[in-house]
Chains A and B, each alone.
Chain A
Amino acid sequence: MRIRLCYHAQIRQAAGVESEEADCAPGADVIEALKDAIARHGHVFHGLVLADDGKIRPSLIVLVNSVPVPHGTRRSLADGDEISVFSAVAGG
């Protein structure tokens, strides 16, 4: 199946593209799609998306079709889904 990934801010800089389409295996979830993207975009992208324990960074906002996916939940993907990722930075 085919999905779309949209990158914001630092993650966009690390990926070098604003968005891209990618193929996913049927039944793949968000983490698997992001790990595929890491394989394409290298270590800076990796560091922004995944923590040392291999989980999604607590500062990363992940949306599927504009709806946030809470950390720790598995979100299966369907053909045509759009994943957006944004890395929040500290300060307030």
Chain B
Amino acid sequence: MRIQLNERELEVEAGKTLMDLRREFRPDADIVIWNGAPMVEDQALSEGDRVVLIRRGEMPDSGELEALMVARHTPGVHERVRRASVGIAGLGGLGSAVAIALARVGVGRLVLVDFDVVEPSNLNRQQYFVDQIGMHKTAAMADNLKRINPHVKCETHDLCLTPSNVPVVFRDVDVLVEAFDRSDQKVMLLESFATAFPQKPVVMASGLAGFGPGETIGVRRIGRGIFVVGDMVSAAQPGQGLMAPRVGIAAHMEANLVLRLLMGEEGR
């Protein structure tokens, strides 16, 4: 029967088990992952199984790294998302966290756009480091993503998005993530993109400020292929700031929605 071992096709005899495989191919492996789940007990193998054997703490070569990184993915996800392209408009609290989540998932290409530089007040919620203060967010995020997953292609644009350049910058993406701060810019982005690419989905955010209950943040579809994540009402304003927990919840809900769209699990 055919299985995959560390993402490479392998023919094995019927009746083989997980631990047989470890003994034969990687006796020093101390992490055994079977179809996305870590295993301690032995398990009979079946046609199409995916097995990953890892020696804890060992740096794999570049070719093997990608395979090992997705060992805990649900089977079938990696093949789909590695061919995908996602645009992220804005690399602040939302966009920086969405970018990292999608890089960890292994989305093949990310188009990252922001005009700003990292400054100290960003660090309460945005995915940058103190030593990146003063860097352009596009360059800083591309560096961070490369350290997380070097297999993701990052296309960066250090510019201010306008109705005229939105269709150019995001012409090749499968899904667009709106991650702006200003409400009028959120609307501008949606109008510009949806007019140019009416068949492509847009994932937006609205209502994530403060420290209200996390469970009030949800997803609402407001039009064909137009999704909004947030509690819909909590605006960033004097007296109600933006902080890592709720911004992070919204960002990861945006990222999860992107993943669902790429996997065909979410109707448009």
Contact = CB atoms under 8 A, between A and B. Distances in A.
A67 B224 contact: yes
A10 B207 CA distance: 11
A59 B184 contact: yes
Contacts of A58: 183-184, 187-188
A39 interface: no
A70 to B, nearest CB: 4
Interface in A41-79: 58-61, 63, 66-71
Interface in B12-39: none
A88 B236 CA distance: 11
A9 B195 CA distance: 24
A41 B133 CA distance: 48
B194 to A, nearest CB: 5
B235 A91 contact: yes
A92 B233 contact: no
Nearest to A8: B222
Contacts of B188: 58, 71
B200 interface: no
Contacts of B163: 70
A60 to B, nearest CB: 7
Given A90-B183, A92-B93, A63 B222 contact: yes
B190 A8 contact: no
A44 B233 CA distance: 14
What interface size band does chain A fall in?
A: 20 to 34
Contacts of B204: 88
B206 interface: yes
A89 B234 CA distance: 7
B187 A10 contact: no
B73 to A, nearest CB: 28
Interface string B221-254: 0111010101011111100001000010000000
A87 B184 CA distance: 10
A87 B187 CA distance: 9
Given A8-B232, A91-B234, A92-B205, A63 B191 contact: no
Contacts of A69: 191
A86 B206 CA distance: 10
A91 B223 contact: no
A90 B238 CA distance: 11
A68 B191 contact: yes
B208 interface: yes
Contacts of B179: 92
B190 A68 contact: yes
A71 B191 CA distance: 8
A19 interface: no
22 contacts: A9-B206, A9-B232, A9-B233, A10-B232, A59-B184, A61-B190, A66-B223, A67-B223, A70-B191, A84-B222, A84-B223, A86-B228, A87-B183, A88-B204, A88-B206, A90-B209, A91-B205, A91-B230, A91-B234, A92-B186, A92-B205, A92-B247
